[in-house]
Structure 1
C-alpha cells in the first residue's frame, strides 16, 4: 500500500489516543504467566499485540475478548509443548517469549520477515539463556531460533544492555518462576532504562518482587514466585501519539489528544517536553494534550535514549525548526525494524531535509520555509519511519508518496484514519 500525503496547512479536532502497545504486551504476558483468569481493559490492537495474542494461545493460554475487555486464563510456568512460534515482525514479542520458551522442551521461532526482524540480532539474550542451562540453535544470533528448554536454572546471569533493554525485561519476567533465586547483572550501558521501569511496574502490579539497584545494573529475583491473576487497565500510547503531536506542531492546528496520562512512566511522554522546548503552544492537563500549532519552531538538543520510540517523530518536527537540532545517545535506533538512523535520514534527504548522522546522533539543520517533497520514498517496513515521514509530507510543498505504508499497522493500524479525521489530506492506494 502507498500513502500519498498531500500538503496540509491546518489540522483541527480531537483524538482518543491509541492504547499502549508496550503495556498491552507486558500485561498480556503477566496474565499468561499467572494461574487463573486476568482481565485487561482497553488492550491495544496492532500487529505486535496481535502477535502476542496468537503466540500466547499457541503456548496454552485461553483468551476471550469482547469490546474493551480481554480475559486471559494463564498457563503459569507450564506452557504447552508447542513446536513452532511465529511472532511475525514483532521484536519485543520474540524476545519476551524466548525466555518463556525455555520452559518448553523444543520450540522454533520461525523467520517470516527476513528483510526486517530476520536481520535483527538476539545474541545477548541467547547468551544469557545459555547460561541458564538452555540449549539454543540459531543463525548467527538471528532467526530462525530453536530453543531446547524444559529445565532452565537460576543463579548468576549476565546480560548485555548495549543493544536493547528487551533482553533484560525478558529475563525479569521469567526468572521469578524458576526454582532457584537469580541475580541478573547488566553489562555495558543499559539502553532505554525508562522501558525497564515499565517492566518493573507491571511485575509489581502482578505481585512479583524484584530488588533493583538504583542504576538498574543489578537485580535480585527470588525464585518460586507466582504471578497474581487480576485486572489491568491499559493507558494511552505515547509513542504513536508522538507522531500526531508532531503533525499538529508543524501545521496551524487546534488538536486535542485524550488518554495521555501526565504521570505515565512511558519514556515517550518526553515528546511533550521536546515540543514545548521547540516553542509549540500546548497544554497537558487532565490526560489531554492540547496543541495549538502556529508552524513556528525552534531547534532543540535532547538525549533520545529516554524516549526512543518518539525520536523519529521529533526529528520530523525539527526538520522545520529554526536552527540546528541534535538528538544524541540514540544508537539503539540502528537495531530496530530497520536502521532508523541511516535508513530514515536517507529518506528525509530525498524529501529535501538537511540532516546528518553520527553513530549515535541525528543532527537536523532546520528549514522553517519547508521542504520540497514531490518524491516517492521507502518506508523500510518500519511503522515509526512511516509515521514520521508522513509528518514531513504534511509540511512539504509537493507532498510525499510513502511506499509500503501498510506496515504502520504494526503498532498503529488507525494512524492514517486518525490523521485524516483532523484534516490531513492523505490517499491510500
Structure 2
C-alpha cells in the first residue's frame, strides 16, 4: 500500500515510544538459548521481532504471550533440527541465527525478499563461521544460505567489522555455548560499536561472561557457558522515535514522547543532541522528551556511525535547516535494506531537496523555505526511508506519495497511526 503525506503545519499531542526492536530481538534470542522459562515485559511487535519469534519457535522454543509480556521456554544449546528457516526481511535476525544454526546439522535460510535482504552481503560472517568448522553454502555471500554445522569448534577467529557489527554480535551469541574457549579479533574499522554495547549488555543480563577490550576489537569468551532464564523489560525505542522527533522539529509543534530513558545505551539517543544543536526547543525529563518546534533549524555536522538508524531522520530535518549540513562516517548505510545513501538521496531530490553524496557522507544544502513535493517517490522497501520521507512530506508545498509504505511495519507498524494522532495529514491508498 502507498501513503499520501500532505503538508501539515502543526503537530501536537503525546504518544508512548515504541518498545525497542533491537533489544526485543536480543532478549528473544537469549531467552531461547536459556534452559528454563524467561519473561520479557513490553516486547516490540514488528516484522523483525516477529521474525525472531517465529524462528526461535521453529528451532524448539515455546512462546506464550499476552498484551504485557512474552514467556519463553528455551532450547538451550540444542536447537531442534529444522530444515528451513524464513527470517523475512530481517537482516539482524538472519545473521544472529546463522550463528545459532551452526549448532544444528543443517538449516536452510530461504530468500523471500530478493530485492531487499536478498541483495545484502554476509560474506564476513560466512568466513568467520568457516573458521569454527561450519560449512556454509551460499549465493555469492547472499541468500539463500545453508548452514551445515553440528559441532562448531571454538578457538581463535577473526571477523571483519567493516560492513556490519551484526556479524560480531552473531559470534558473541554463539561462542559462549561452544566447548572450547574462544578469542575473537575484529579486523578493519568496526561499524556501529554502540550496538555491540547493547549486545554485551543483554548477554551480561543473561548470565554470560565475555571479556571485551575497551575498543571492542578483541574478545575472550569462556566456553561451556549456560544462558540463564531471566526476566527482562524492554526500553523505549530511539530509532523509531527519531523520525517522530524530526517531524516535530520541522513543524510548529508541541509533541511529547514518553518512555525514552535518559541513560539508554542506544546510540540513536544522539537525535536529541542533534536537534538541540540545530536549535530545536527540546526538554528530556523523567523519560519524557518534549519538542516545541517552530520549524526553524540550523545546519550541523555529525558523525553518523554511532547513531546509524537515526541518520535518515536527521537528514530529513536538515533538508529544512538554514545552511549546509554534513553527515559523515556513514558508509554502512549502503548495506542496509537498500543503499540508504544513493537510493534515499535520489528520492529526496525528487521531492525538491538539495543533497549530495560521497562514499561515506551525505551533504544537505538546507531549504528553510521548504521543498516543492508533488511527486511519487520510491521507498525501496526500506522502513527507515519511509519514515524519513514522511518527515519531508510534512513540509512540502504539495503532497508526496510514498510507494509501498506498508514496509514501515518492519520496525514500527504504528508509525502512521502515531503521526495521525499528533495531527499529521497522512492517508493510506491502494
TM-score normalised per structure 2: 1.00
Partner of 1:259: 259
Partner of 2:12: 12
Correspondence 1:19-168 to 2 at 5 A: 19-168=19-168
Correspondence 1:373-384 to 2 at 5 A: 373-384=373-384
Correspondence 1:282-301 to 2 at 5 A: 282-301=282-301
Displacement after TM superposition at 1:77 (Å): 0.4
Partner of 2:174: 174
Partner of 1:366: 366
Partner of 1:322: 322
Q: d(CA) in 2 for partners of 1:364 and 1:405? A: 24
Q: d(CA) in 2 for partners of 1:148 and 1:346? A: 40
Could you report, residue by residue, the CA deviation over 1:342-400 in whole angstroms, capped at 9, with x for unpaired residues?
A: 00000000000000000000000000000000000000000000000000000000020
Q: d(CA) in 2 for partners of 1:69 and 1:135? A: 37
Correspondence 1:228-239 to 2 at 5 A: 228-239=228-239
SS of equivalent residue, structure 2 residue 356: strand
Q: d(CA) in 2 for partners of 1:3 and 1:277? A: 31
Q: d(CA) in 1 for partners of 2:110 and 2:153? A: 25
Partner of 1:339: 339
Partner of 1:355: 355
Displacement after TM superposition at 1:67 (Å): 1.3
Q: d(CA) in 2 for partners of 1:96 and 1:173? A: 7
Partner of 2:422: 422
Displacement after TM superposition at 1:100 (Å): 0.3
Equivalenced residue count is: 429
SS of equivalent residue, structure 1 residue 128: helix
Displacement after TM superposition at 1:199 (Å): 0.2
Question: Is 1:312 matched with 2:315?
Answer: no
SS of equivalent residue, structure 2 residue 102: helix
Partner of 2:196: 196
SS of equivalent residue, structure 2 residue 427: strand
Q: d(CA) in 2 for partners of 1:260 and 1:400? A: 30
SS of equivalent residue, structure 1 residue 103: coil
Could you report, residue by residue, the CA deviation over 1:196-251 in whole angstroms, capped at 9, with x for unpaired residues?
A: 00000000101100000111110000000111101000000000000000000000
Partner of 1:270: 270
SS of equivalent residue, structure 2 residue 373: coil
Could you report, residue by residue, the CA deviation over 1:70-112 in whole angstroms, capped at 9, with x for unpaired residues?
A: 0000001000000000000000000000000000101100000
Partner of 1:212: 212
RMSD between aligned alpha carbons?
0.3
Q: d(CA) in 1 for partners of 2:28 and 2:100? A: 13
